[in-house]
Structure 1
């Protein structure tokens, strides 16, 4: 009897140890259920605990009905254990996405069916043809004969257990020993249960008589090994699922498209970014050949880490391929990374354009310097045309260059000077756009004739295109202007595909102003250095600048003119026969006349200053470079002006009559004497610039040099439409030039 008690105590002691061990692990794991795999581990330990408890309860039940019922309950735990083990292995190794409710439900379908088969075994005997209760050594054991149903059930249990073990063994091989110890302990623990099951099935029982189920007893060993893995090797602190899930998350969240191909270049993995590139869900791309999803002509699969480019819609992708090899170096597939470089390409293109524009700007600035250098020695318009066209053609950027002018007295004829790409200068006149000497005249003719109208003066370079779109020749027409006078136009052609850029047109506009200034300067030099001059005398009924003579019955004599700004003159008039205050008030009301003020008072008269814009015939004369020698108004207006002998007189007359329609040229005299340097438009000192001369004269006539000053610097600068600082700059330089000339002359006299 004592030996029986000893056996019973030993059995229940081992079962208690097993149950406490696995049950404790279940409770501990559930307490950390937020970590990967802990829920599944807790379920596995709970099922093993239930297995042990039901087995122990069955050993104590001698009633056959209750004993068989408890055996059937025990088999529910037996069938649940491999499912829990496999689900735990999937979660722990990072394949949790495979353990979906659908897949787990499919795995559980067999245990449910097997449980029904076990509970109804008495009807069909498929699981155990013989299933009897035998009491041995005080323990109620089952004497069972295994039927075909039992073999299927055992095969299912071992299959699921083996799959889970293989997942952990794979982790041992691939984890670089980081997870090796934990995985080995888990495999040892589950292998102990499998070995116990095999021995039980083989009837290797330590007790005489019927078969003893050894699995619940082996649970104590499993519990110890699992506990050692849990507490000694930090089973849930170093979880392989973290790395696996992190790798998947990194690939999924990676902005670049990542595609893994097998040896036949079929897609076996595709992250969401690549799915967007393929215009499909990542799962939909699995199994498709890569060349069906994108154009792979630019992809080199034979060279490692080679870069290619793929265009997809408006996006550009950089493609990098890397081979995937096994341990023996055999190629088993490729990794392909698609990086969206659209933004980078746009930045590179923008930088390239900026670099090209800077190079072009540097070239154009150099070209302007060359043209400026060439213009230094030019003394005639023909020399200017030859220098400008020659330099522009030498730049190799322009196919042909024309410089033209349409005189006012020949509106249908366009005189041009142009240079071909051979450098041969050609000059001539014509109206046929196809003439060699007038090619491009139809575009030059679009500009107004030489004039000083505001629209002409503010014209800018405009681009045109000749020929078919595929073989077009681009051209531009640039006005040659100085201040408000247009002296003609410059036409250029180029075969460049992109034609003329906006910045280039701006620089050419600047070039047009430089050339216009050079033309104006040559005209002024001709007027100053000519041995003879042409005197033109005009008469008009009325002129806004001389309005007091017509309305106040007085005499108005021009005392001085200063071209104070590009758009207006400062005129000084001597009034005889009326109050100058009344004359100034009358002038201020005239169209085109600005501020008018009295500078000097004398008996029955004085000197009046006013600004004149576009309404007076004085304006076109001064802007055309004429020297207004005399102007007087009493009974009508009479003006005498001197121009250089080679000036187009008809052009001057046309300008005057566009401003004053009733102005008539009554006399044209060729005089042998040189230009009257003491005309009413001021004495020209050769060492002073125009603006210095103007600043000096306006300041003098405004009483700036009187003490106290009659007008301050701000008021004088306002008359010239410049800032006070600019006025001081011009004035100081003029004063320095005059004082230097005076003292140098004094030194020469003493010498």
Structure 2
């Protein structure tokens, strides 16, 4: 069902076959349908019946005899061309009807074939139908690409915000025939939320809960963001009995979705979200995939440009998330030795000395014994000290330096959080000053293997800058205060004393106490004067 770049099957060809000779019509219909599985034939045996049939859905190709009893094929061709100048129209003529053929060419007939030739070559008509319809579809696809590119240029020019751009792109895709289109981004908690939607959103409302995390759902949008690769799915109706009732695919089938394309929105390695479209037809062709890829690339470029402008023009900084997938991060190596399903959350990373850093961490899904055993099995981790065990194991993990977080700080960012789960380390950072995403990626790449770093713009809003009171603290005062808060020093009963916390930072108890009191005085003074 799921595809990754394979060529989809040829779309069936619908043919309207018209002749007042019922025997000939039956014979040709059988020949056409047996010659290839691509052709589906409907018939009409008079001019009036043909015009009635064409009032409904236009077929991919019309095959019509010249003599119809109550009209002629040329008369029908004239009516068809008045309504649809491009639909393939093959005129079947009798022997010696060269004048008719000449008139038909003047009315832009696609082709004409004498009946005598069909009796000698029974498969000729089928081959010609496939040929002219394929050429027509190619022409339409090229015209559609031109319209798309022109519309996309207009959208980019006219849109002033990310939300407006996303809405205009989705509307354009729905106008072009998709049942639904949406752009998904991540919120501050890494849950997927819609930036823009268009079309029939009933499926989205039934299948996707806002805020769901990518790792918790197999719907194509989530997979594309998690895998940072395009995802294409087809959902033929005859597969519905094989679908688990709770699966997103069952909901899609129930809402008439036959195909899905989800493409990550990115630019220069920075991922902003996913563009997803849902169709009523069971396949998305190569040209269509390439066109959707251009949409996603263009949106990614504009999103990146918008992010740059926002960073340059605003005093507030932007939040970016870096994902590491190899064991260049010490907590990734540690997590590999922990029980499956464990999570390590670090809000504070403190350089202990030139050789070691301290991760103030909450470990979920593990015990103190698990941590101790994992540390013994991990070369990059020196030790672990557990502070308390309420709501997870709160601990200080000492690792060998350098680590990715210190490289990011050196590049000029402020760290927010590091989360290690599912074989990935996600580092959230706030870009400020002159720091750029590329500088951060370059700094991380000095420690990590090529291709193991991906970047995601996690929020649409600028991150809030630190208050003047926090900015007034020295680095060591901030480190001491953060460790004290994380280790539960201010809670009652107190979980750790100043001596234990000072040891974690490799400083004396007196020095720790001095920095802690200085930090408290600055914060209290700022509060009094507010």
TM-score by length of 2: 0.37
Whose helix proportion is higher, 1 or 2? 1
Higher Cα radius of gyration: 1
Larger RCO (CA within 8 A; separation ≥ 6): 2
TM-score (normalizing by structure 1): 0.28
